[in-house]
Amino acid sequence: MKRIAISTAFALTLAAGAALAPTDAHSLTAPATAGNGWKLNSPRITHIDTKPWVIAFHDTTSRTKLTPYLRNTAAELQANLGVKFTVTTRIVPVTRGQCVRGHVISYRYMSKPDPTRSNASFTGACGINGAADGAYVYINSDYWLKTRNFSEPVRMNVIWHESAHAIGLSHPATCPRDRYGRQPLMCADTYKDLRTRRYSSFEQTAFRHLVTNRTYATVVNR
Ligand SMILES: [Zn+2]
**Is residue 191 assigned to a domain?**
yes
Q: What's the 19 CA to ligand 1 centre distance in angstroms? A: 33
pLDDT band at 63; cut points 50, 70, 90: very high
Residue 222 lies in a domain: no
Surrounding residues of ion ligand 1, Cβ less than 5 A: 1
- 27 vs 97, which has greater pLDDT? 97
Domains contained in the chain, number: 1
Residue 136 in any domain: the answer is yes
Mean pLDDT for the stretch of residues 24-30 = 55
* pLDDT tens-place string over residues 180-202: 888 889 987 655 555 566 889 99
CA gap 129, 81 in Å, rounded = 18
How far is the C-alpha of 64 from the C-alpha of 15, rounded, in Å? 42
Q: Is the pLDDT of residue 85 over 80?
A: yes
Calpha distance 33→161 (Å, rounded): 18
Q: What Å distances lie between residue 194 and 61, 165, 184, 185, 204, CA to CA?
A: 25, 15, 9, 7, 17
* Integer Cα distance of 130 and 151 in angstroms: 36
| Domain of residue 100, CATH code | 3.40.390.10
What pLDDT score was predicted for residue 11? Answer: 32
Ligand 1 centre and the CA of 46: distance in Å? 17
Task: Please state, in angstroms and as integers, the Cα–Cα distance from residue 46 to each residue in 49, 101, 120, 132, following that order.
Answer: 10, 17, 25, 8
Does residue 67 have a pLDDT over 50? yes
How is residue 59 annotated by DSSP? S
89 — phi, psi (to 5°)?
A: -100, 10
Q: Which residue has the higher pLDDT, 74 or 11?
A: 74
Distance (Å) from CA 56 to ligand 1 centroid: 20
Examine residue 25 and state whether it is found in any structural domain, yes or no.
no
Cα(166) to centroid of ligand 1, in Å?
A: 10
The verdict on residue 205 lying in a domain is yes
Residue 135 belongs to some domain of the structure: yes
Task: State the Cα–Cα distance between residues 22 and 37, nearest whole angstrom.
Answer: 33
In whole angstroms, give the CA distance from residue 157 to residue 31.
28
> Which amino acid, 143?
Y
CA 187 – ligand 1 centroid, Å: 7
Answer yes or no: is 20 within a domain: no
pLDDT for the residue numbered 79: 96
Distance 6 CA to ligand 1 centre (A): 15
CA–CA distance, 34 with 206 (Å, rounded to integer): 8
Q: Is residue 96 part of a domain?
A: yes
Q: Domain containing 45: what range?
A: 2-14+40-215
C-alpha of residue 185 to centroid of ligand 1, in Å: 9
